[in-house]
Amino acid sequence: MKNKILAFHTLGCKLNYSETASIAKHLQDAGYKVADFRDRADIYVINSCTVTRNAEKRCRELIRKARRNNPEAQVIIMGCYSQVNPEELTDISGVSMVLGNKGKFDLAARLAALPDTGVKPPSGKERLDTFVPAFSSDDRTRSFFKIQDGCDYTCTYCTIPRARGRSRSNTIRETLETARQIAGSDIKEVVLTGVNIGDFGKPHGESFFELLQNLAEMEELERIRLSSIEPDLLSDDIIGLVAAEPRLMPHFHIPLQSGSNAILEAMGRKYDRELFAGRVDKIRELLPYACIAADVITGFPGETEALFMESHDFIKAADLSYIHVFPYSERENTKASRMKDHVAPGVIRERSQKLQALSQEKKKKFVQANQGRKENVLWEKENLHGNMYGFTENYIRVKAPYDESKCNTIETVELNITDDRGVYIINP
């Protein structure tokens, strides 16, 4: 089996990327060759996502693509789609094995046991009761560092708790050990990743704030960036710590989902818009130039034109750097799917466009507000048409003429001129 060539493709979130990277590295260390998914391979592995219908459709397209690449190949589906609907995937011709969010970490052993006969091993919904750490290291500049998994919240539109299980994590001591492994591989920035990272530590009586305090003391880690954190879990202590600790990046991604309290209640969210606004104000008070991004769902059942405009106007007034807009995607077996007053697809599209236009305005204003400031940039390694790129601490994109000696280094630059996409140009 080990002389077989594997190819991986990941759908979905940073958490999925960190897990695919860890699983692929484990198999490479075990002697497998890993090829690009576009190339011919013996075994194609797709780490799937179930957040939207589109994500599932994309997975089925990739199965067909893999089979076209090599009709003899075995195709393995793992991850969230496999966890919530293994039968549907098992029935697809060409799929050799289906592994959920536990079985995927056992891929090496499952591959060794995979019969060439085409008989599909049984698949079923797996018990998600263990935490398996993971991190990506293929980027060499930044690592998606999985610190938490699962979610205990019950948002009415969301299937993630069914796909990922209850909230769980390792202890702070174990998490620091993994962080040292990452730091040892010359990676300059870690992005703390999970499903509900603010809930880190609950099974062990520890907290996300305590983890951040410990990570901020690790000299080996130069930059620590938070991925998405729930507004009700973003405490004053965490904001204060980010303001006080130079290793913690002034960048917050906070899922708002709606600027209407009526819709937030229907979504089963654990806060109201006043709490969210209070978080933004606190950040701006301590970190005026921080990047504050938010996720927003539009077209949730019951979102009348008036409630949409209430949400739109709240977002317009909020001092955000940009927003990610998600058209409501109905998921089976969710409370929201059984709600009345679903919004017509055309209206959802219109509203998404309105919010995206608002996001562009905010992004432009945020980038311009940084003109003339000095920022530390982490240069990435790619040479893209003679240019290299990087992000500032407050997540602004910059570019400069490619210089190999600067790859994976941190440089203080002055932000003056932007190109037509709002990317700052250094040493033009």
- Which of the 8 DSSP states describes residue 185? T
Query: In whole angstroms, how close is the CB of 198 to ligand SF4 at the nearest point?
Result: 9
Residue pair 234/198 in contact (Cβ under 8 Å)? The answer is: yes
Cα distance between residue 414 and residue 183, in whole Å: 28
Task: Report the nearest approach of ligand SF4 to the CB of residue 384 (Å).
Answer: 33
Main-chain dihedrals φ then ψ at residue 361, nearest 5 degrees: -60, -45
Using the minimum distance from each CB to ligand SF4, give the nearer residue, 79 or 250.
79
Which of 158, 248, 307, 336 is the binder for ligand SF4 (CB under 6 A)? 158
| Among the listed residues 196, 207, 258, 418, the single contact to ligand SF4 using CB under 6 A | 196
Phi/psi of residue 4, each to 5°? -80, 150
Does residue 98 interact with ligand SF4 by CB under 6 A? Answer: no
d(CA 314, CA 61): 39
- Is the CB of residue 90 less than 8 Å from the CB of residue 82? no
Tell me the closest approach of the beta carbon of residue 161 to ligand SF4, in angstroms. Answer: 5
The answer to whether 294 contacts ligand SF4 (rule: CB under 6 A) is no
When asked if residue 238 is in the footprint of ligand SF4 (CB under 6 A), the reply is: no
**C-beta of 93: minimal distance to ligand SF4 in Å?**
32
150 interacts with ligand SF4 by CB under 6 A:
no
301 binds ligand SF4 (CB under 6 A): no
Largest CA distance in the chain: 65
- How many residues touch ligand SF4 (CB under 6 A)? 9
Which residues touch 91 (CB under 8 Å, ≥6 apart)?
A: none
Q: Tell which one of 100, 103, 161, 194 touches ligand SF4 (CB under 6 A).
A: 161
Least separation in angstroms between CB 47 and ligand SF4? 17
344 vs 418: CA distance, rounded Å: 39
The verdict on 155 binding ligand SF4 (CB under 6 A) reads yes
Strand partners, 78: 47, 99
Residue 195 in the binding site for ligand SF4 (CB under 6 A): yes
Assess 315 for contact with ligand SF4 (CB under 6 A): no
Give the nearer residue to ligand SF4 in terms of CB position, either 82 or 228.
228
Which helix H or strand E contains 145, and what residues bound it? strand 142-146
Using CB under 6 A as the binding rule, whether residue 85 contacts ligand SF4 is answered as no
Cα 208 to Cα 88, 229, 278, 289, 404: the distances in Å are: 37, 10, 20, 23, 37
Contact flag: residue 175 with ligand SF4 (CB under 6 A): no
Q: Is 266 in the site for ligand SF4 (CB under 6 A)?
A: no
d(CA 255, CA 323): 9
DSSP state of 248: B
Q: Give the nearest distance from C-beta 337 to ligand SF4 in angstroms.
A: 14
Among 70, 108, 153, 324, interactor with ligand SF4 by CB under 6 A: 153
Which of residues 56 and 230 has its CB atom nearest to ligand SF4 in the complex? 230
Q: What is the CA radius of gyration of the chain?
A: 22
Residue nearer to ligand SF4 on the CB measure, 86 or 161: 161
Decide if 300 contacts 315 (C-beta within 8 A): no
> Locate tokens 């089996």: which residue?
1
Interface residues with ligand SF4 (CB under 6 A) are 151, 153, 155, 158, 160-161, 195-196, 230
